[in-house]
Amino acid sequence: MTTIEWLLADSPSSRMQARLGRSYRVFNALLRNPLAVIGALIVLLLIVMAAFAPWFATHSPIAGELSERLAAPSAAHWLGTDELGRDIWSRVVYGSRITLLIVALVAVLAAPAGLLIGAISGYFGGWTDRVMMGITDIFLSMPKLILALAFVAALGPGIENAIIAIAITSWPAYARIARAETLTIRNSEFIQAVQLQGASAARIIGRHILPLCSSSMIIRVTLDMAGIILTAAGLGFLGLGAQPPLPEWGAMISRGRAFILDQWWVATMPGFAIVIVSLGFCLLGDGLRDVLDPKQGGKQ
């Protein structure tokens, strides 16, 4: 039996084999979707760039040469320099670390919180469900960006507060999804079997329900990444996110605003970085959804 036959076996003999087989199929299907491949490559590039920023950067992201301020893109400065003579390419490269940090932290904070709330709400039903979903719906019917802005205004500007504010406004969507998934799983026979074996609610939710929600969750989080990046950049643009001299992309655009007419590259280049990375997450998320959740194919 070759490895591929083993992976594609119709009746896997272990969980491990089933899991690997599924991953292999997903991976294969993704490869057949050119847009998803582009998306995956962009995301991969972002991660590599953030991890090895010093190798990619040609200059220091913080220290500039005033004699070379506002220089146009050239061989020495690929994307030009800003008003303090800092190399924009190097700042964009280091900025990828901030972007990655923000999306990772928001995902780590908001997704599990939403997942847990949704699963508990869906599993127990009744009043628990009504109260929890009531709160979720109230959050869901609020404008996200405005809410994040108000939170940051109250907490004070800064990258940590921006992350907290975005996380606070992101969890309700995940809670909704997790609840919907839980409702479809809750009454299935294997859950009843586990209940009969005397498993506690915590165990059922943790070991059986949450893992089954994970694929729709992964899709959703990936699709949301673009939104998170844009919100973070927006906060940075308004001066409420990452503070100078951090090379955050939104803040860089904000500084370049004054020179947009004559030195267009200062504001434009970090913008391209945002567009490319957000688009990468969108394409990847779209592709993942087509593969993992075919019935939702092409939806929203």
Partner 1 sequence: MIFARPASACQARLFVGEAKRLSVETEIVATKQPVRGRKSRHRIALSLGAFVVTVALTFLGLLAITFFIGRIVPIDPVLAVVGDRAPQAVYERVREEMGLDRPLVVQFASYVGDVVRGDLGTSVSTQRPVVEDLVRVFPATLEMATIGIVFGVLLGVPMGVWAASRQGSALDQAIRVVGLLGYSIPAFWLGLVGLAVFYARLQWVSGPGRLDIYYDGLVPPVTGLMLVDSLIAGDTDIFMNAVWHLVLPASILGFFSLAYIARMTRSFMLDQLNQEYVTTARVKGLSERAVIWRHAFRPILVPLITVIGLSYAGLLEGSVMIETVFSWPGIGNYLTNALLNADMNAVLGATLVIGAVFIGINKLSDVLYRVLDPRARG
**Which residues contact partner 1 by CB under 8 A?**
35, 134-135, 137-147, 149-156, 169-170, 172-173, 176-177, 220, 223-224, 226-235, 237-240, 250, 253, 257, 260-261, 264, 267-268, 271, 274-275, 278-279, 282-283, 286, 297-300
**Residue whose structure tokens are 């108000």:** 150
CB of 24 to partner 1, least distance (A): 25
Radius of gyration (C-alpha) of the chain in whole angstroms: 23
CB of 156 to partner 1, least distance (A): 6
CB of 204 to partner 1, least distance (A): 25
Residues 6+ apart with CB under 8 A from 80: 70, 71, 72, 73, 74, 88, 263, 265, 266, 269
Residues 220 and 211: their CA atoms lie apart, in Å, by: 15
Nearer to partner 1, 113 or 140 (CB): 140
CB of 219 to partner 1, least distance (A): 11
DSSP 110-172: HHHHHHHHHHHHHHH-HHHHHHHHHHHHHHHTS-HHHHHHHHHHHH-SSHHHHHHHHHHHHHH
Nearer to partner 1, 59 or 179 (CB): 179
Nearer to partner 1, 7 or 46 (CB): 46
- Using DSSP's 3-state secondary structure scheme, residue 77 falls into coil
Nearer to partner 1, 209 or 274 (CB): 274
Nearer to partner 1, 152 or 191 (CB): 152
Q: Is the peptide bond before 245 cis (omega within 30 degrees of 0)?
A: yes
CB of 90 to partner 1, least distance (A): 20
